[in-house]
Chain A
Amino acid sequence: MSYIPFPSGADVPALSFDIEDDFYSMEEENHTLSRRARFGTWAQSRVGRRVIGTASVLLVLAAWQIFASLNIVQASVSSSPWGVITAGRAYYTSSHALSDLSASGLEILYGFLVSLVVGIVLGVAIGTNKLMEAAFDPFINLLYSMPRIALAPLFVIWFGIGMESKIAVIFLNAVFPIILNTAAGLRSVDQELVGMSRLFGANRWFVVTKIMLPSSVPSIVAGIRLAIGNALLGMVVAELIASTRGVGFLIESASNNFQTDLLFVGIFTIAIAALILMSAVRLIERRLDRWRP
């Protein structure tokens, strides 16, 4: 399909210097918008986007189901939406579900909370203090640019196959985007705003907590978004390596037993957890930024 700059059917209006004439002809055009152009505007609206998004997901699921029922590959390998739903129902009514979810959930909770606190504290230190920046720079550069997930096996040796090693991997994955975004946010705070508050008697603590951190909310939230993805990645990989419980363990054991349906249950569980965490962040951001127009 070629790109159509003007609604099809409408002629490109001739250049005219008569403003009034042009104005009226544009209005008329609006009434005679072609069907395709009207669909285009609807597709950009909120409701339109939702409807189209849902429809395309359903379409893919339907295609997957049809593909599975054609039996080109074995059903146990290809899996199917219906198979996943059946396996999901069985899994979520078993005792494994609670055990896996609580293990993974607690790992994420602890790992992420530690990342948040450490990330913001270090980010503030680095963003406001040249000495700290210079001291931490080599470590941060090295650890940020390398695939940190490669350290996961090391952490299993150090911390065992229990929850501690997972928390350590999650922390190492999630903390960097928070540190870097917090530091960047603080460095770009309006210095005149800082000067204003100092003039009215503010000390360093007030400047950091009441001027600099609130100014940096968008940047810190962007870091937290990246951190959530990284934390989930860390959790799954750490559990894949060595574990006895957790969603990663579920995926691992389903894979070992060629239970493709169950494997997808694990994958969708993680995907849904990611969506929930992201919307939680959006809610918190809205609350912090409720002054914004």
Chain B
Amino acid sequence: MTVSTVEDLPVAVRRLGIKYHIKGQIEPFVAVKSVSFDVRKGELVAVVGPSGCGKSSLVGAISGLVPYAAGSIYVTRERVKSPSPHLGVVFQRALLLPWKSVLENVAISLTIARVPKREREERAMAMLKMVGLVDFASRYPHELSGGMQQRVNLARALVRDPDVLLLDEPFASLDAQTREEMQEELMKIWMLAGKSGLFITHQIDEAVYLADRVLVMSAGPASILIDEVKIPFERPRKLHLKREPEFQELVDRIWEKVRLKRDEVGDEA
């Protein structure tokens, strides 16, 4: 895997290791052993891997919430020690404050930064427009469907205008049809917003459809990156791309790698 200097890279991860201390156990649990990769400007990189391989741990470490045991992480050239203001995170669960309106939820990072109310509301409204929820600004989260809540989740991550977007399985809890709609939506927003990003998923077709590069993670514990696949399709990509044989071929190739390498890693251990 090519690893350059951290100059001008939105995200640079070097030999990252993540350990958890388990209650009543002396030896820490090694979730991620050693992982290195970059996200280049304007690029959307997907990480795929089986459930429990450490994808959320990776997101946690990059976002500055999970302390890491080894290696280093840079977000826009700054060493990550605490949550970076250049980062927007879309969580697997929507994590909306149930007592706040949709608009206030989207604006939470601006509220925290003491942005004046008017500007805050304007910017949050612009984000709601982008995700198609203007009419729902004054609703409460529980009045929204799962797909709509994830749109709010996305709008909230974008409102601070971060350089880098981290998405941790944002569509995993949605039904198949809503998920495809959201993938198409994200494709459009990606073209508009001009961000760099890391997209975590365990769905290989989702990774191939959305990403410029797909990184394959081995099964945990002590997971590593075992492969990188470049996705050649031009943007904007239409949903029917998924029905094309070239697309299917790529998905199958990555699937093979996930399966094959997982067995190899299993033999090694």
Asked whether any CB of chain A lies closer than 8 Å to the CB of B113, the reply is yes
Residues of B within 8 A of A214 (CB): 97, 99
Say whether, besides A214-B99, A291-B98, A200 and B63 are in contact (CB < 8 Å): no
Contacting residues of chain A (182-209) with chain B, CB-CB under 8 angstroms: 190, 192-193, 195-202, 206
- B83 and A293 contacting across the interface, CB-CB below 8 Å: no
Complex contacts, A200 vs chain B, CB 8 Å: 83, 108-109, 112, 156, 160
A211 within 8 A of B: yes
Interface magnitude class on chain B: 20 to 34
- Pick the residue among A190, A195, A201, A293 that contacts B142 (CB under 8 A): A293
Interface residues of B in 75-132 (CB under 8 A from A): 83, 85, 87, 89, 91, 93, 95, 97-100, 108-109, 112-113
| Chain A residues whose CB sits within 8 angstroms of the CB of B93 once the complex forms | 192
Closest to A195 in B: B65
The answer on a CB contact under 8 Å between A192 and B95 is: yes
**Closest CB of chain B to A125's CB: distance in Å?**
23
Contact A199 B65 (CB under 8 A): yes
Contact of B83 among A198, A206, A289 (CB under 8 A): A198
B190 within 8 A of A: no
Chain B CB within 10 Å, residue with most, of A190, A214, A291: A291
Q: CA–CA, A197 to B109, complex, Å?
A: 8
Whole-angstrom distance between the alpha carbons of A285 and B98 in the complex?
15
Measured between beta carbons, the chain A residues less than 8 angstroms from B20 are none
CA distance A201 to B64 in the complex (A): 11
**Interfacial chain A residues near B83, Cβ < 8 Å:** 198-201
Q: How far apart are the CA atoms of A196 and B108 in the complex, in Å?
A: 10
Query: Are B85 and A201 within 8 A (Cβ)?
Result: yes
Contact present for B97 and A193 (CB under 8 Å)? yes
Interface code A72-85, partner B: CB below 8 Å = 1, 0 otherwise?
00000000000000
Task: For the complex formed, measure the closest distance between the CB of A193 and the CB atoms of chain B, giving whole angstroms.
Answer: 6
Whether A196 lies near B91 (C-beta < 8 A) is yes
Q: Which residues of B contact A291 (CB under 8 A)?
A: 98-100, 140, 142
Q: Enumerate chain B interface residues (CB-CB to A < 8 A).
A: 63-65, 83, 85, 87, 89, 91, 93, 95, 97-100, 108-109, 112-113, 140, 142-143, 156, 160
**Cross-chain pairs A/B with CB under 8 angstroms, 13 sampled:** A192-B95, A196-B89, A196-B95, A198-B83, A199-B64, A200-B83, A200-B108, A201-B83, A201-B109, A201-B112, A214-B99, A291-B100, A293-B142
Closest 5 CB pairs of A and B: A200-B109, A196-B95, A201-B112, A291-B140, A199-B83
